[in-house]
Amino acid sequence: MSTFVKICGLTTAADVSAAVAAGADAVGFVFAESPRRVSVDTAIEIAREVPDSVIRVAVMRHPTPAEWRDVATGFAPDWLQTEAADFAALDDIAAGQRMPVYRDAPGLDIEGLYREDRALFEAPVSGAGQRADWDAAARLSAATRLVLAGGLDATNVGDAIVKVRPWGVDVSSGVERRRGVKDPEKIAAFVAAVRALES
């Protein structure tokens, strides 16, 4: 089975082109506080050439209904990725558009995660290279389509997939030359490392 690959925190058209050329299944655009944050107008511009086969993900954190409406109507992403609890306050999000985030931290709502069709399991802090607990992730991935994030790069993603058996993997800082600046060679190497396990 092919592993779903998302390259997150893209800020330029060159980043997006590199992710698409490498064979990523999804590209993520951050609308939350982050060195990778983009405006709606920037996201529209840099995602212009993304083919329909690649999922465009809006990455937010605790958006207000108004903030989500601005992104939804302006950028019109395929999926919204935000904290699982955030969805209760947001309207007009179909089940297929949800990518709820569950964090490897005290108070993890395991039962809530098990009810999700798919979920992203993340380290306590996003985009900082922190690794989630792979043992916990392996248990969770047996119950839902789990996307593993946190501390992944081309050197360890193969081991992560073998241990966790996730439905997908998500990377941001692990494909950067410096914080917030993507490296096309690292993007290509990351996707290649995932696909090497499928051959």
How confident is the model at residue 91, as a pLDDT? Answer: 77
How confident is the model at residue 199, as a pLDDT? Answer: 66
- How do the domains of the chain map onto residue ranges? 4-196
**Residue 91 carries which side chain, given as an amino acid letter?**
D
Buried b (16+ CB within 10 A) or exposed e, 139-172: ebbeebebbbbbbbbbeebeebbeebebbbbbbb
Quote the CA–CA distance of 143 and 114 in Å, as a whole number: 6
| Cβ count within 10 A of residue 3 | 19
How confident is the model at residue 23, as a pLDDT? Answer: 97
**Residue 39 carries which side chain, given as an amino acid letter?**
S
Could you tell me if 125 and 131 are in contact, meaning their C-beta atoms sit under 8 angstroms apart?
Answer: no
How confident is the model at residue 94, as a pLDDT? Answer: 79
Give the chain's residues under pLDDT 70.
Answer: 1, 127-129, 199
How confident is the model at residue 71, as a pLDDT? Answer: 96
Query: Using DSSP, how many helices (H) and how many strands (E) does the chain show?
Result: 7, 10
For 135, the 3-state DSSP assignment is helix
How confident is the model at residue 127, as a pLDDT? Answer: 62
CATH classification code of 4-196: 3.20.20.70
In sequence order, the β-bridge partners of residue 30 are 37, 59
How confident is the model at residue 92, as a pLDDT? Answer: 75
Determine how β-strand 176-178 pairs with β-strand 181-182: antiparallel
Rounded to the nearest angstrom, the gap between the alpha carbon of residue 193 and the centroid of all alpha carbons in its chain is: 17
